[in-house]
Amino acid sequence: MTDQILAVRERLVSEGLDAGPESILARLDPATAPSRTTIWRILTKSGAVIAQPHKRPRSSWHRFEAASPNECWQSDFTHVRLADTSAVEIISWLDDHSRYLLHISAYRAITTPIVISTFTAAQDAHGLPASTLTDNGMVYTTRLSGGQNGSYQPNAFETLLADLNITQKNGRPNHPTTQGKIERFHQTLKRWLNSQPAPTTLTELNTQLTVFQAIYNTQRPHRALNGRTPYAAYHATPKNGPTLTQTRNTWRIRYDLVHDNGTITIRYAGRLLHLGIGRSHKGQRVIALANGPQVLILHPKTAQIIAEYTLDPTRTYQKKTRTSPERSPETSPERSPGTSTPRT
């Protein structure tokens, strides 16, 4: 049994997976497998692990966990490098209750439009969360950009959450332990990626991330989940959601080019409607975020809300219902402060 336990551990380490007693136990025959404590003793005695008696015991941690699936989704992004050493960023959405990896994908750089598109992809697959938890990066929130008086212009992601009655929570500045689960998740992710061939393109990296997502969700038992996988924990109980009844919960994202007459065309209620954006934007690319009759037009790089519409299918030409204050791309919030330096 000792040789089998050590062989399983060696294989898990080579694959970049957790190789602790719980992970080893999950891969042994239940009929003959020893206890977790016995596996730990074998690993310690063989020198495969080094005991750390002065390390803070887990029992002393004060850990927060959402009571049910979809009660809270955590999100963050981390930096990795391709084979040519070029830096790219990986964004993830993680269910706080179950650690279920709802979405993961890689991009050259994370922007607010990417936050929105990945959130809506997770929403389409898993339903709406009651709340989100992120850091204060400006791709998620502009709440710290309003100066001492606390006034600010919410970005498009904040506007989307408010429209869906989803509570947005942000950790305290310089206090990353608030998002401890996803910070720990990044360690697991990078350990696995380091065991794989270095991807040469974003496409290759995203293919690897799809494989990792399946392994993480379905093959990796979690100690904090009483030995269950994130998939089992996520599907074990009914899901939570926004506290108010939602009549509009599906957002569609499309990319458009503003025509020379300052409009874009969108189909609604069986009719082609022309949204008047303005001739000053002709030839520019924009993002249209549509939810029923509500449409937001966003700047594709800064995610600044250019205009809002409530569509009226009885009229071909649609006027703006609100235009956000002008803000230059150089000063508009797009990236988290300090994200030019890769995280380690």
In this prediction, residues 94-101 reach a mean pLDDT of 95
Q: Which amino acid is at 239?
A: K
One-letter-per-residue 3-state SS of 26-71: HCCCCCCCCCHHHHHHHHHHHCCCCCCCCCCCHHHCCCCCCCCCCC
Has residue 56 got a pLDDT over 70? no
**Res 148: pLDDT:** 47
In this prediction, residues 248-267 reach a mean pLDDT of 83
Tokens of 1: 């049994």
Sequence-ordered list of residues with C-beta below 8 angstroms from that of 279, at least 6 positions apart, any chain = 260, 261, 262
**Res 49: pLDDT:** 66
For tokens 């929105």, what's the residue? 116
Residues 230, 225: Cα–Cα separation, whole Å: 8
Q: Which CA distances in Å does 233 have to 67, 94, 96, 123, 199?
A: 11, 13, 11, 18, 31
Kindly report, residue by residue over 28-42, the tens digit of the pLDDT: 667 777 776 777 677
**Res 323: pLDDT:** 62
Of 94, 115, 82, residue with least CA distance to 213: 94
For tokens 């809270």, what's the residue? 72
Q: Cβ(332)–Cβ(304) under 8 Å?
A: yes
In this prediction, residues 180-192 reach a mean pLDDT of 90
Go through 195-210 and write b for each residue having 16 or more CB atoms within 10 A of its CB, e for each that does not.
Answer: eeeebeeeebbbebbe
Residues 135, 133: Cα–Cα separation, whole Å: 7
pTM over 0.75: no
Of 165, 101, 166, 158, residue with least CA distance to 132: 166
**Res 334: pLDDT:** 43
Q: Is 115 helix (H, G, I), strand (E, B) or coil?
A: helix
- Lowest-pLDDT range of 125-134, 144-153, 208-217: 144-153
For the chain, percent helix, then strand, then coil, each to nearest 5? 30, 20, 50
Confidence class of residue 51 from pLDDT cuts 50, 70 and 90? low
Go through 223-234 and write b for each residue having 16 or more CB atoms within 10 A of its CB, e for each that does not.
Answer: eebeebbbbbbb
List strand residue ranges (DSSP E) for 40-185, in order: 73-81, 87-95, 101-107, 131-134, 167-170
Q: Cβ(111)–Cβ(237) under 8 Å?
A: no
Has residue 339 got a pLDDT over 70? no
Of 9, 4, 26, 48, residue with least CA distance to 215: 26
Residues 222, 188: Cα–Cα separation, whole Å: 12
Q: Cβ(246)–Cβ(128) under 8 Å?
A: yes
Q: Cβ(321)–Cβ(328) under 8 Å?
A: no
In this prediction, residues 283-289 reach a mean pLDDT of 91
Cα angle 18-15-184, degrees, rounded to a multiple of 5: 35
In this prediction, residues 69-90 reach a mean pLDDT of 97
Kindly report, residue by residue over 57-78, the tens digit of the pLDDT: 555 444 567 889 999 999 999 9
Name the average pLDDT for the chain.
Answer: 81
C-alpha neighbours within 13 Å on the C-beta side of residue 12: 25
Sequence-ordered list of residues with C-beta below 8 angstroms from that of 190, at least 6 positions apart, any chain = 78, 80
